[in-house]
Each structure stands twice: as structure tokens, then as C-alpha cells.
């Protein structure tokens, strides 16, 4: 099974690395890794025309009306929203390298746009109010060993530094699970049910460029464990019908 990776190139033969603008349809995948600060950066660059971005089909993305030879930014943002909804409806698992939500002004035909706006929200969890900004001084520690991405969080605990966190009560209300805590006990990695799938928030690393291969291997292992869990949840009568 292939994994779509947005905003943080990772070396693995089964990983498809793209930007938020250039990626193919999200709904063609069931595994997604997205670096949220890169999403905001790409949209900001398109708004201010400071870098060229193209769609998967090769059309330049511009902050204005679309045409046969160009794709509008507003259309791109709407498209990603639809694709993300389908992704989670199809049991998709998304791993978000988490940053606070950013508000961007100047998108043509929109008053403002929020960097998490393309993602559907989990039940009783608002990205704008639940993701609280913070700056870590020390490493985060895994809070539970019973999770597919525990090994990832354990391997990179020493080099993770959170930029956003959430409250225990908010995570509990959303039916989520805390995966890692800061030195002060704040939840900085957590898993929330979303549609028929899940969204996993993990903190960024100090220098991911130095550990890309290890990051890719650890994330792939987590996704494989998720797939194993999902297969185990299929009733016996359904498995018997599979050739």
C-alpha cells in the first residue's frame, strides 16, 4: 500500500512525496503524512506569488480565477477539502506533524483561510481552539505503548519539540488517546477518530533532514501495524469471502 507524503520528503519506495499543491488526489490513498507548516507555507507562496506551484496535472496554481491553462488557489483549497473528507470516509489514517493553525489573508474569493481548514474536524475538536501554541524546551515522552506509532514516538522522543498541544479534557471529549506528553505533562501527541479513519498528531523534530531514512522506516512500521489492526477487525464471515 502506498503512502502520500506532503511537505517533508521521505525516502521509501512506497512513499509518494509531493507538496500540498502538486499532490495527486488525497482520496486515492489510505495513508497520509503531512507537515502542517509546509501546507501554510505553500498557500502563502501562492497568495504572494513568491514561488511557482503546479498541480499534479502540471497547471500553475494562481491566486485568481482559474482557466484552461491555470488552476485557481481557491479551487485547489476546495478540492483538497473534498478529497480529505473522502480519505477519512475510506478508513484513511493521517499522521500530521503538528503546528498551530495559521490564518492567511488574501486568497482570491475568500476573506481568510486557515491552515487546517482543508481537513474535516473530529467530533468535538476544533482545530482553531483545541490546538494550543507552545514551545518545548525538553523532549516529549511516550504516554502509552499500546499504539501503532508508539515505536516512532519512542525512537524520536529525544529530538521531538512540540509547537502545539491540547488539553486532556478536549482529547477525551473527542474520543481520542494521548500518545506522548511534554516534560510538564501536556499532551503533545494524540490520536483522534475522524470519520471512519483516524488522525494522529505528532510533534516536529529538531532536525528531520538528518533522520529522514529513520523517520520513513518508523512511520511505515506504524502504518503497517494500523493495517494489521484494521484487518483483525474484519469479521470472519467477510474474510472468508476474500479470495
- The domain that holds 46 is classified in CATH as 3.40.50
The answer to the question of residue 77 being in a domain is yes
Which is more confident, 97 or 239?
97
> What's the pTM?
0.93
The answer to the question of residue 14 being in a domain is yes
Question: How many domains are there within the chain?
Answer: 1
The answer to the question of residue 128 being in a domain is yes
What would the mean pLDDT of 198-205 be, rounded to a whole number? 97
Adjacent-strand bridge partners of 178: 190
The answer to the question of residue 124 being in a domain is yes
The answer to the question of residue 15 being in a domain is yes
pLDDT at 82 over 50: yes
pLDDT at 232 over 90: no
pLDDT at 96 over 50: yes
In this prediction, residue 243 has a pLDDT band, given cuts at 50, 70 and 90, of very low
In this prediction, residue 140 has a pLDDT band, given cuts at 50, 70 and 90, of confident
In this prediction, residue 233 has a pLDDT band, given cuts at 50, 70 and 90, of low
Q: What is the pLDDT of residues 2-59, one digit of tens each?
A: 999 999 999 999 999 999 999 999 999 999 999 999 999 999 999 999 999 999 999 9
pLDDT at 236 over 70: no
The answer to the question of residue 242 being in a domain is no
Residue ranges making up the domain that contains 54 = 3-234
The answer to the question of residue 240 being in a domain is no
Amino acid at each position: 500500500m502506498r503512502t502520500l507524503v506532503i511537505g517533508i520528503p521521505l525516502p521509501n519506495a512506497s512513499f509518494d512525496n509531493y507538496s500540498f499543491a502538486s499532490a495527486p488526489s488525497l482520496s486515492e490513498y489510505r495513508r497520509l503524512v503531512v507537515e502542517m507548516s509546509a501546507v501554510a507555507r505553500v498557500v502563502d507562496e501562492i497568495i504572494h506569488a513568491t514561488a511557482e506551484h503546479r498541480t499534479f496535472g502540471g497547471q500553475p496554481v494562481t491566486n485568481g480565477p482559474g482557466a484552461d491553462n491555470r488552476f485557481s488557489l481557491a479551487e485547489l483549497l476546495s478540492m483538497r477539502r473534498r478529497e480529505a473528507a473522502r480519505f477519512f470516509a475510506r478508513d484513511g489514517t493521517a499522521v500530521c506533524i503538528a503546528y498551530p493553525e495559521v490564518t492567511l489573508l488574501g486568497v482570491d474569493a475568500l476573506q481568510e483561510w486557515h491552515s487546517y481548514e482543508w481537513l474535516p474536524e473530529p467530533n468535538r475538536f476544533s482545530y482553531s481552539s483545541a490546538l494550543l501554541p507552545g514551545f518545548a524546551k525538553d523532549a516529549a515522552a511516550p504516554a502509552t505503548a499500546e499504539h501503532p506509532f508508539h515505536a516512532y514516538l519512542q525512537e524520536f522522543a529525544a529530538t521531538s519539540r512540540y509547537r502545539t498541544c491540547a488539553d486532556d479534557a478536549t482529547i477525551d471529549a473527542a474520543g481520542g488517546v494521548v500518545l506522548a506528553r511534554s516534560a510538564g505533562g501536556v499532551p503533545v501527541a494524540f490520536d483522534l477518530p475522524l470519520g471512519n479513519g483516524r488522525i494522529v498528531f505528532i510533534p516536529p523534530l529538531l532536525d528531520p533532514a538528518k533522520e529522514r531514512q529513520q523517520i520513513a522506516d518508523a512511520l511505515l512500521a506504524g502504518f503497517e501495524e494500523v493495517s494489521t489492526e484494521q484487518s483483525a477487525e474484519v469479521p470472519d464471515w467477510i474474510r472468508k469471502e476474500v479470495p
